Structure 1
Amino acid sequence: MKFVIILAFLAILASLGSALFFMMRKGDGSANTAADDAERSRKMFRALAIRVAISIVLFVCILLSAKMGWIQPTGWQPGQ
C-alpha cells in the first residue's frame, strides 16, 4: 500500500512539473501568436486538471484503506 501512495505522490509532482513547464515555455523564438498561447494554456490546464484528479483519487484511496483496515492511523492522538 505504501508503494501505491508513493507512486501517486510522484504522479502528482510530475503533473505539477508538466504544468510549470508549459507555463514557463516561451516557444522557439519566433513571434508568439494567440494560437501558440492558447495551445500552451490548454496543455497547462490539462496538466493541472490531471494533478487535481490524482490528488482526489489518492485522498479517497487513503480514506477507503483506513476504513477497510488496510492501514492503521499512528502518530499524535488527541487527548493524550
Structure 2
Amino acid sequence: MKYLVILAFFAIIASLASALFFMMRSNSSGKSRQQKMAFALAMRVGISILLFVSILLGWKLGYLHPTGITSGQ
C-alpha cells in the first residue's frame, strides 16, 4: 500500500508538470494547448480522488492502521 501511495504522488506531480509544460508552450495552437492542459489537470484531480478513496478503502479493510496521537489527548 505504501508503494501505491508513493506511485500516486509521483503521478500527481508528473501530471502537474505536464500541465505546466502545456501552459508554457508557445508554439502550438491555443485551443489544442488549452485542451491538453485541461486534460492533464483533470487527470491530476482523478488521481488525487483515486488515492483518497484507496486510502479510505485500505483503512476500512484493515490494510492501513492509524498511528500518532490518540483521540481525547
TM-score, L = length of structure 2: 0.94
Matched residue, 2:36: 43
Give secondary structure in 2 for the equivalent of 1:73: coil
Superposition RMSD on alpha carbons, in Å?
Answer: 1.1
Matched residue, 1:14: 14
Aligned length: 73
Unaligned runs of 5+ in 1: none
Displacement of 1:76 after TM fit? 2.4
Once residues 78 and 20 of structure 1 are traced to their aligned partners in structure 2, the CA distance between those partners, rounded to angstroms, is 41
Once residues 3 and 36 of structure 2 are traced to their aligned partners in structure 1, the CA distance between those partners, rounded to angstroms, is 29
For residue 68 of structure 1, the aligned residue among 47, 61, 69 is 61
TM-score, L = length of structure 1: 0.86
Structure 1 moving runs of 4+ over 2 Å:
none
Listed one character per residue, the Cα deviations across residues 1-40 of structure 1 (whole Å, up to 9, x for unaligned) are 100110011001100110011001111xxxx7xxx00000
Displacement of 1:79 after TM fit? 1.4
Once residues 43 and 53 of structure 1 are traced to their aligned partners in structure 2, the CA distance between those partners, rounded to angstroms, is 15
